Structure 1
Amino acid sequence: MEIKIDNDTDEEIAQAIATAVSEHLGRGVELVGNDGTLAEAGENWSEEGAVVTEREEAIREDIESIMSGGPERGFDKIEDLGKVFVRDRLDMIFDDIEYEDGSFARHGDDDELPADGLITGVGTIDGRKVAFTANDYTVKAGSLGQMGVEKVIRIQERALDLGIPMLRLVDSTGARLNAEEREPGDTHMDRYRGGKMFYNQCRMSGEIPQIGVLYGPDVAGSAYTPVFCDYLIMVEDIAGMAIASPRIVEAMTGEKTDMQQLGGPQVHAQHSGSADLVVPDEETAAEKARDVLRFLPQNYSESPPEETPKPPKKNPYSLDDIIPEEPNKAYDVMEVIDRVVDRDSFIEMKPDFAPELVTGLGRIDGQVVGIVANQPDHISGAIFPDSADKGAGFVWTCDAYNIPLVYLCDTPGFMIGSQVEKEGVLRRGRKFIYATSNAQVPKFCVITRKAYGAGIYAMAGPSFGPDATLALPSAEISVMGPDAAVHALFGGQIEDMDGETKDAFIESAKQEFDKYIDIKKQAGKMQVDELIPAGDLREQLEVRLDTYKTKQRDDRPRHHGTVFF
């Protein structure tokens, strides 16, 4: 509705008139002077027309103060450490923060505890709702107080109710131990306090994705927050986690250490296997968190999001040239992966831990897949206790979130020897085999070259429920390699030989053994589903993945298996 008005009318008065008329008539109003529109109301209510009382203004000022973070010394601390203020950190990751809860936690108790040092709420990333928690290091070094714990528990429960992912931005020194935080008799163990956070994480596992980003040293019980996440990103130089701080370690054990040596990113990337990715800075951490989320569904009942297909980085029709004729000659399996997955789609998980097995998320023709590949360029791709753990955890997580699996098998099998037996190669190896056997997502075994011994069991060989076993012309399937087989069969005879006679006998026996591992004959006996030209592998995986989108999961008549990860 357009209403003419005197040009001399004050803007504030014009807006008040427009608002009053619109509210009275229940429709949009435009006040127009000789020079054009002076005020509008009712179609798109603007702040100019708001009536802000002193009471409301006081609340808005309180909110602004809370959102500005902790005291100045807290900002000095993050500047010295090279960290980003938590709200800037959230802006790096989220497109928008939809809302927050608990902003007024501890309000009035202590002016230096805004929001009790923890921000929780829901934001959007690529149009998807994602719940989050984020420690504010400017407030008591991000330590967790009683209301902070309460906020974590509430947002966990709401994320479960909504069926949306949870992002944990962890920058905390752990529980706040000040005397004023608790009354006599209080502990962290009671039913609705600290322990409930970790209980909830356990219950959330496999139901909604949990992604953790660690920005600082996290010690004691709170260090379980990042390791309970499905995927963990650690920021170089500033992140760390350990069950006790260096000071406590020295006091209790006498060992002198620092946080980087005790539980820094390299420790958890190379030795413990707890970190999936280590990144150089916070900007990269934000990028990687968003990238990982793009591979994951909102929850266990949905499929991962598809994207527009891209061609592979390298020519798939040159694949056969990459794989050596000799079964023991090294090559980089990334050369195979680059010819199979969509260009720039592959993110390797735990690249520095047990590198004899490559695990990562990528896309084939736009569809998300989990890649499990032996790495012949590192100790021949043999499976060690650590790589068995790595493979088991990766497969289990993919199965939880409906991510199809592609296995690229080129392994001499599980490593042998007294050292790996002490490290539990059988006990830990069974985890890998168990995970593969029980995964119900579409899974495809591709035998690129060696498939010796029990290695093919872990790599989804024909007996372990693959939806197809595909073999390339370079494939060799055998209970063991030629060298081992000859020594197993003729060890006693060989011991009595020497020189050229011994060498000639071994070579002759190996040639005879090779007759029994002819992949064409094995394909003729249906030991594999299809023997394909290497150049067709990408296309074969495309069409098979598309076909198996409708694969159904089976309910099993049991509570769960007894093999634990």
Structure 2
Amino acid sequence: MKVHVGEGATADEAAAIAQSLADHLGADVEVYVGEAADPAATAAPSEPEYPLDDGRGPTDRERDLRAEIDDILQGGPEKYKDRLPKQGKLFVRDRLDLWFGGDQGTGGPGDADASEGAPTGLRFEDGKFAAFDDWHPNAPDGDEYDEGDRVPGDGLLTGAAEFEGRDVHFMANDFTVKAGSMAAKGVEKFLRMQQRALKTGKPVLYLMDSSGGRIDQQTGFFANREGIGKYYYNHSLLSGYVPQICVLYGPCIAGAAYTPIFADFTVMVEGMSAMAIASPRMVKMVTGEEIEMDALGGPRVHAEESGSADLVARDEAHARELVSELITYLPDQAGEKPPRAETKPPKFSPEGIDELIPESPNRAYDVHDLLDRLADAESVFELRESYGKEIVTAFCRIDGRPVGVVANQPTERSGAIFPDAAEKAAEFIWTCDAYEIPLLYLCDTPGFMAGSQVEKDAILEKGKKMIYATSSATVPKQTVVTRKAYGAGIYAMGGPAYDPESVIGLPSGEIGIMGPEAAINAVYANKLDAIDDPEERAEREQELREEYRRDIDIHRMANEVVVDEIVPPSELRAELAARFDFYADVEKDLPDKKHGTVL
């Protein structure tokens, strides 16, 4: 059929007319604009969605159900939703739109604006009708409707989604329902989600915004076998089996605060997140201390002092962005290799490594600058950067391969290992080993710090944990002595005794029980004190220092096969890439035992 339309019709309008007529008439249609000899658009009838139409469709029964679902999707009382923008946070279903896209929200960012990560969809949700009898007038036992009694889904959303091309389980608190508190039906949903993750072996996202257990409804879920306590039992079973990632969107108190602590990775959001064993009101009641929530357990506290926060986001969109990058370094479950990416050259040329590292062991340089010359560009992803800053723990890629980096940081107290840094490194090594992420140690340390305060801070206990993690890790390990490796620092940093696949030295490297200054003071103090002439003493001290440095020089260590190879610094990236590739499938056995007793 040929159809003519006026001169003013656009190509899009002609196409729309052609398709509408073709579907309506069941025939091919050509649309001509004005007196044109060629058609502006053609269309054939669309294929029917179903082969046959028997005239049946939804009744009031389905329409009523859809109305109930729409009501559930609105969340808690409107007055609590109205407060969210002032708190800088999204309504929970708009948050799911941000993370997964789709149309589950009620006016939030949605698919188009969610993020540049192009979320791909909420697969399904479980338990929308949880606690339906407690509030909805259509429920079989429903009473007169009261807006204040709304508890849709019992304040907790669970389900499955596709996130950055990966299938994940998720849970998300609805803060508009009694401040995201946990009660019997919501607890049941949470537990089922965890138990399903144990079956599927897929990662879990916890989007937390909970004030803790619902105290006035605690019967039936607090201390039961299948109550809140089972959360942490399941967390423990999932730990090291599938990645567990938690993002905090509000003040998570008491029991709610343990989920982020049990997670492999915890993200807090500035101006919004907090976690603490008790609320400020409870703290005042128990101890008399008056303190604000942010000072008690805000992002700064947990990023800088407790080390419980791995990452701190600026806002909700940034939190999603951080997790979307983090998950690219992780496999779906234990036993799988982490995904590789396309190789990129490093940000700066490896040719500059030799000049970057000072010859003097006491002069500082930033190990981030070294990583910029070793790792694929834009691939360095640091965790806990404000905690235990004497060691840098980060994911990166070398030749497209995910690698976990444990690097001493000479700009922070000369790279000496303090208790917090040792603890941070131990936990990072343990996590990398659980998820088959090979380890790269960049060693430049005077060793473990000494002194009364670090002893009180458990330097021996936390140092033990770092050494234990290094000893027990069965993933491929490469160690580079970039400069000084003194004392037990070389043990903790994957030295020759700790079964690395290779120990590589740079020409600036030194390995010894202690540095030259300490050694001379320990061994020759009395002899030097006996020299009265200051010039003679200084000359003799310099001779001893040079003699000692010759003994600990990396060439001596290579001569004695303490290290496997000395590598020209400009070739270090290529050397590491080749070694990680060669040892990618190495197998290591640990003694047959239930588990160690250190961690």
- What is the TM-score normalised by the length of structure 2? 0.86
Q: Which ranges of 4 or more aligned residues in structure 1 deviate by more than 6 Å? A: 36-39
In the alignment, is the contact (CA less than 8 A) between 1:130 and 1:166 conserved in 2? yes
| Deviation of the 1:45 alpha carbon | 9.2
- Supply the distance in 1 between the matched residues of 2:28 and 2:484 (Cα, whole angstroms): 86
2:494 aligns with one of 429, 453, 460: 460
1:75 to 1:235, Cα distance in 2 relative to 1, 3 A:
same
Pair 1:542 & 2:577 matched: yes
Partner residue in 2 for 1:119: 157
| Deviation of the 1:140 alpha carbon | 1.2
- Supply the distance in 2 between the matched residues of 1:421 and 1:163 (Cα, whole angstroms): 41
Pair 1:560 & 2:588 matched: no
Report the residue type matching 1:53 in the other structure.
T
Pair 1:360 & 2:394 matched: yes
Pair 1:41 & 2:41 matched: no
1:171 aligns with one of 203, 209, 213: 209
1:118-517 to 2 correspondence within 5 Å? 118-178=156-216, 181-183=217-219, 186=220, 188-497=222-531, 499-517=534-552
2:57 aligns with one of 51, 58, 75: 51
Partner residue in 2 for 1:97: 122
1:105-159 Cα deviation digits (max 9, x unpaired) = 0113124111111110110122210000001111111111111110000000101
Partner residue in 1 for 2:146: none
- Supply the distance in 1 between the matched residues of 2:330 and 2:480 (Cα, whole angstroms): 24
| SS of 1:339 mapped into structure 2 | helix
Report the residue type matching 1:119 in the other structure.
L
| SS of 1:168 mapped into structure 2 | strand
1:260-314 Cα deviation digits (max 9, x unpaired) = 1100000000000000011111110010111111111000021111111111111
In the alignment, is the contact (CA less than 8 A) between 1:215 and 1:239 conserved in 2? yes
Partner residue in 2 for 1:15: none
- Supply the distance in 1 between the matched residues of 2:524 and 2:28 (Cα, whole angstroms): 107
In the alignment, is the contact (CA less than 8 A) between 1:245 and 1:259 conserved in 2? yes
- Supply the distance in 2 between the matched residues of 1:211 and 1:116 (Cα, whole angstroms): 23
| Deviation of the 1:259 alpha carbon | 0.7
In the alignment, is the contact (CA less than 8 A) between 1:436 and 1:458 conserved in 2? yes
| Deviation of the 1:182 alpha carbon | 4.3
- Supply the distance in 1 between the matched residues of 2:64 and 2:531 (Cα, whole angstroms): 96
1:321 to 1:49, Cα distance in 2 relative to 1, 3 A:
farther
| SS of 1:406 mapped into structure 2 | strand
Report the residue type matching 1:268 in the other structure.
H
Of the structure 1 ranges 392-401 and 189-198, higher mean CA displacement relative to structure 2 is found in: 189-198
| Deviation of the 1:455 alpha carbon | 0.1
Partner residue in 1 for 2:72: 66
- Supply the distance in 2 between the matched residues of 1:49 and 1:549 (Cα, whole angstroms): 61
- Supply the distance in 2 between the matched residues of 1:503 and 1:244 (Cα, whole angstroms): 60
Report the residue type matching 1:69 in the other structure.
G
In the alignment, is the contact (CA less than 8 A) between 1:119 and 1:133 conserved in 2? yes
- How many residues are aligned here? 531
Report the residue type matching 1:407 in the other structure.
Y
| SS of 2:584 mapped into structure 1 | helix
1:460-508 Cα deviation digits (max 9, x unpaired) = 0011110000101111111110000001101223344564444333222
- What is the TM-score normalised by the length of structure 1? 0.91
- Supply the distance in 2 between the matched residues of 1:221 and 1:434 (Cα, whole angstroms): 30
Report the residue type matching 2:301 in the other structure.
V
- Supply the distance in 1 between the matched residues of 2:563 and 2:55 (Cα, whole angstroms): 74
In the alignment, is the contact (CA less than 8 A) between 2:183 and 2:221 conserved in 1? no
| SS of 2:394 mapped into structure 1 | strand
- Supply the distance in 2 between the matched residues of 1:301 and 1:30 (Cα, whole angstroms): 56
Q: For structure 1, list consecutive stretches of 5 or more residues without a partner in the other structure.
A: 1-28
| SS of 2:511 mapped into structure 1 | strand
In the alignment, is the contact (CA less than 8 A) between 1:327 and 1:449 conserved in 2? yes
- Supply the distance in 1 between the matched residues of 2:424 and 2:28 (Cα, whole angstroms): 74
- Supply the distance in 2 between the matched residues of 1:415 and 1:336 (Cα, whole angstroms): 24
| Deviation of the 1:339 alpha carbon | 0.6
In the alignment, is the contact (CA less than 8 A) between 1:93 and 1:287 conserved in 2? no
Q: For structure 2, list consecutive stretches of 5 or more residues without a partner in the other structure.
A: 1-22, 30-42, 101-118, 137-149
Q: Percent identity?
A: 48
1:243-262 Cα deviation digits (max 9, x unpaired) = 00011001110111011110
- Supply the distance in 1 between the matched residues of 2:367 and 2:65 (Cα, whole angstroms): 59
| Deviation of the 1:168 alpha carbon | 0.4
| SS of 1:41 mapped into structure 2 | coil
| Deviation of the 1:44 alpha carbon | 8.2
